[in-house]
Structure 1
């Protein structure tokens, strides 16, 4: 149930709603989690528009995008890490209408420690999240577990 934060200069993206939905659904697909309400409702992306003077490299350029992806510990193996970085970078460049933005998009992958994923006022462990997902799958299947 990752959270995605995108930081960019105001006006970088035309349709931020579509971008947030594309980022969230792409990450959910890469993680290969079940397509159940628990994951659909709790995988989200946020775009933070910043004035251009709030972003700078050493040379003063502000045409960069920072994407921070927070997942629970162990959610992404190495292949999934590579897929997240590549696919989210491509989505960012496409949403900006600027293919060269792939060279200026930084993707940071961060893992919440076990027990450090708060939802509904509770700090969940990975085992608790898995149990909750299995319970929801069973309930959706009419009480049969698959």
Structure 2
């Protein structure tokens, strides 16, 4: 159940709700998270609109977007990492209406360490999270 944060200067995106939903759906799709209510409700993206001057590269250019994707350990193999980077970059550029933003979008992929995945008020280990997910999949499929 990935969590995604998008950081950009305020006004970069006209519709942040659609952007958040599109980004969350794309990561869920690439990660191959089952499309069941529990997972849909616990996969979210947060769009952080920062004041002008809050983002800069080493030259002082501020027309960048930073996307951080947090997943449980091992959720994204190398092919999925590449796919997430490509899909999120395309979604960001389209949402901004600026194809050139694809060259200025940074996508960071982060895995939660053992015991570092907080969900339902508890810091789960990766094994606990996988066990809970498998139990919910079985429950939803009637097995």
TM-score (structure 2 length as normaliser): 0.95
1:2 and 1:96 mapped to 2: Cα distance?
23
Aligned to 1:22: 22
Listed one character per residue, the Cα deviations across residues 84-125 of structure 1 (whole Å, up to 9, x for unaligned) are: 000000000000000000000000011111221011121112
2:6 and 2:126 mapped to 1: Cα distance?
25
Aligned to 1:32: 32
2:136 and 2:58 mapped to 1: Cα distance?
49
Aligned to 1:83: 83
Aligned to 2:71: 71
User: Unpaired runs of 5+ in structure 1?
Assistant: none
Does residue 55 in structure 1 map to residue 51 in structure 2?
A: no
Stretch of structure 1 that moved more, 78-87 or 109-118: 109-118
Does residue 4 in structure 1 map to residue 4 in structure 2?
A: yes
TM-score (structure 1 length as normaliser): 0.93
Stretch of structure 1 that moved more, 2-11 or 129-138: 129-138
- Give the CA deviation at 1:37: 1.9
Greater Rg by CA:
1
- Give the CA deviation at 1:12: 0.1
| Matched position secondary structure for 1:35 | coil
1:135 and 1:129 mapped to 2: Cα distance?
10
Number of equivalenced pairs: 143
Q: Tell me the C-alpha RMSD between the 2 structures.
A: 1.0
